[in-house]
Each structure stands twice: as structure tokens, then as C-alpha cells.
Structure 1
């Protein structure tokens, strides 16, 4: 693949694929396409060949949400979802199922490019801010390795999306301290926290759920109402 990053765009609108694809190829990306969920599944059997997937929610046959639910958590490829205007439920469901970001259609190719760059930056450990852990860390039975991007809870490996991993990494590296919601949004999502922006809450919720499966009722990520989140330190 060389130095160029390869993107998979899944959308039944072939004209949009051509428009977006031409723009992104001009910006240095390699583009491949699938026009329905079945085609995408075939191509995702070689998921390691892609760096990111752009996924439309509304497609004939199986929807983008159904495809995302099918491939997570087995396929950890970063995903940006394209949703119709006003489809707030689809956006929330997409984030809950493991999408890394979303953009409303019709979308501006320049804004999509910015979102792609932001998502790809946040899954690269060398690009992380100083609050991100440099080495492996274990707190309250949760072990996180920034090098392999592996997480274990009481020796059980759990699967996290790239964004979920980074949420947990920032929280656990700063265990005992409260990370403000706006700060965590900037660190993980690379944007300012906007009014009614629930994206970081959804990612934290997903991390919390996945940890809870192996914690026997312990709650390690506390919500500090009106402020942010805290990974507890010590006995809980």
C-alpha cells in the first residue's frame, strides 16, 4: 500500500462515490468502493488492507447500521457514518455500535476530509497528546497497552474500537483525576464540545459496558455530573 492510506466507501449512490472519491484521491488517499452491504462484507474479509471505512446509513437491502452491527467488534476498522439530515436516532445508534464519527448528507468533501484526518490521527499512538499513556498501565484489574492497543479486564481481552480505546487510555492514564467532558472531547474527537453534543458520552458508555462484562458489578468510570468523567483509583 506504500505510504498512501486506503479507504473503503460503502454507498449505493455511485455518483456520490465518484465525486467524493475523486476529491479524496486528489488529497492522496487510495479509494475502493462497495455499493451494498454484501459487497462490503466481501471486501472486509481483507479488512487489514483498509485504514478507514466511510459508511452510508441508508442503503437498499441491509442498512449501514446493520452492517456495522454485523462487523463489530470483529472488525476494528475506523468508521465514519453518513446519515441523512435529522436522523439523530441513526447517529446515536451508529456511535453505540462502534462508529468513530458521523457526518450528515449531503456532505461537503472538505469537511469529510477533515473528519477522516481527525479519526486517523486519533488511532495513531505517536500522534496522541501528552496525557496519553506512553507505556502499559494496569489499574483496578484493567490493563491497557498503547503499543499493541490491547485491553484486558481481569485477564479477559476485550475488543474496543479505535475511539473507545483512546477514551479508556486517557481516563486510565489519569486515574483518580476528573477529565472534563470538553477536554476529553478535544483529546479524543479533536473538536470543541458543542451544545447538545453527546458523542463522547456515547463512547464512554460503550467503554463502561464492555468493562462491566468482567468486573462483577464494579463501576470504574464515574460520571461527575456537570463536569466530566473519572477512572477510579484504588478499591471500589
Structure 2
């Protein structure tokens, strides 16, 4: 049986109740929301593997909700809409939806699309064996031979010092490294207590590799101790 969680977002209760029956019969866990605001709150509070998202809803429509979700989440999103024109489909897909279903639709067709999207997502999420001389951490790839760094296959250009710091943290994944140790290993000279060079370089690295440098995904600060990559 399936264990994935599907979030149904639609203000038409009849549609939600119908899909609830079909999806629960397949073993999925269901969450429900009547508008985009409720959907965002549920996504923040619960792990969600796939979202079925209606376009036309009160308070916050599906387009706005999809764009907001895509700022930080990558799970599949299937849009529902009574509009069937090509421009509407293009709009939905261009702002981050993975599939688009026009109302009225067959519940069995939607169920098949849910299964297909979840299969594809699982394959994409499956860990890939790292190539020789590569360190791979959750979408971040560091090639220690070419000094090339990519985030989700997008190249990021680092200075030699920035690369050395990132490589050092990555090779010691899960270990907190003090600013003193980082400085001594990268600059190869004694560390001065008043020296904020490491902190400045960490900030610059975050600006290049983090989507939100103020809430970093990769380089974490352990206050009073130093930095680590989890």
C-alpha cells in the first residue's frame, strides 16, 4: 500500500470528497484545504508528497499558491481547472505545476496521474552514486578536481578561497568546524581572535549557493562554535 501524503486543495467539497475516496482506497494519506492560504499552512506543518491544486478558489487562488510553494518546495503539483484553453495550461505549467487536468475529469484518470507523478518524483529523488572526485550533498555538487560547484545543475562561481572553505566543510559533513580551524587550514597561517575573515567569506558563499542566505540550507551556523554542513 502507498504511504505518501497527498494534499487536496479545492473549494468544491464534492470533488474533494470524491477524490478522497479514490485516493484513500489506494492507501494514500490525505490532507485537505479549501483555498491557497490553508494549503500553504498545511505544507508548512506537514510533510506532503504531492499536491492536487485547483486554480479558481477564494482568498488565494491556485496560481498564487503554486508560485509561493515553488519558492521552497519541489513536490509534484497537479493543477485542476474548468478552463481548458492552451494559454491556461501553459500558464499553470510555466509557474511550476507538473501536470494540468481540466474539469470535469475522471477520478481514475487523476489517480493514474497522481501515481505517475509520484513515481517520477521518487526516481528523481533517489540518491545517485557520486562520480570520482565529486562531493554531492542534497543538490549541491562539488568537483574537487575541476573546482566546479553546481546547485541543481546550475553552475556557481566561487573564488579559490571560497571553494576551499566549502570543500573543507563538505569533507567534514556533520562536524562543526571552528572559525580558527577553518582559517588555519584554508589560509595556512595563525588565527587572530579579532579576525572576521572567515565570517565574511561564509557570508559570500551563502549569497552564491543559498536560495535564502538568511535561512541557509547548506552552511549552518552553530552559535559560539563555528560552522557545519549537515
Under TM normalisation by the shorter chain, which class is it? 0.5 to 0.7
Please identify runs of 4+ aligned residues in structure 1 that moved more than 4 A: 151-154
Which residue number corresponds to residue 183 of structure 1? none
CA contact (8 A) 2:3 2:29 kept: yes
1:34 aligned onto 2:33: yes
d(CA) in 2 for partners of 1:37, 1:29: 21
Q: After superposition, where does 1:1-236 map in structure 2 within 5 Å?
A: 4-47=3-46, 49-125=47-123, 134-136=128-130, 150=139, 152=141, 154-158=148-152
Deviations 1:168-196 (A, max 9, x none): xxxxxxxxxxxxxxxxxxxxxxxxxxxxx
| Cα separation, 2, equivalents of 1:89 and 1:99 | 14
Shift of 1:136: 3.2
Contact 2:2/2:28, CA 8 A, preserved across alignment? no
Determine which structure has more spread, i.e. the larger CA radius of gyration.
2
Q: TM-score, normalised by structure 2?
A: 0.56
Measured after TM superposition, the shift of residue 46 of structure 1 is 2.6
Q: What TM-score does the superposition give when structure 1 sets the normalisation length?
A: 0.55
Distance of 1:26 and 1:152 partners within structure 2: 40
| Bigger relative contact order (CA 8 A; separation at least 6) | 1
User: Using the alignment, how far apart are the partners of 1:59 and 1:152 within structure 2?
Assistant: 40
Is contact 2:2-2:26 (8 Å) kept? no
Q: CA, structure 1 residues 65+126, in 2 after alignment: closer, same or farther (shift >3 Å)?
A: closer
Aligned-partner Cα distance in 1 for 2:69–2:108: 28
Q: Distance in 2 between matches of 1:23 and 1:12?
A: 18
Q: 1:75 to 1:134 in 2, by over 3 A?
A: closer
Deviation by residue 1:133-187 (Cα, 9 ceiling, x = unmatched): 952359xxxx896xx6615595252499xxxxxxxxxxxxxxxxxxxxxxxxxxx
**Count of residue pairs brought into register by the alignment:** 150
SS in 1 for 2:84: coil
Query: What secondary structure does 1:43 align onto?
Result: helix
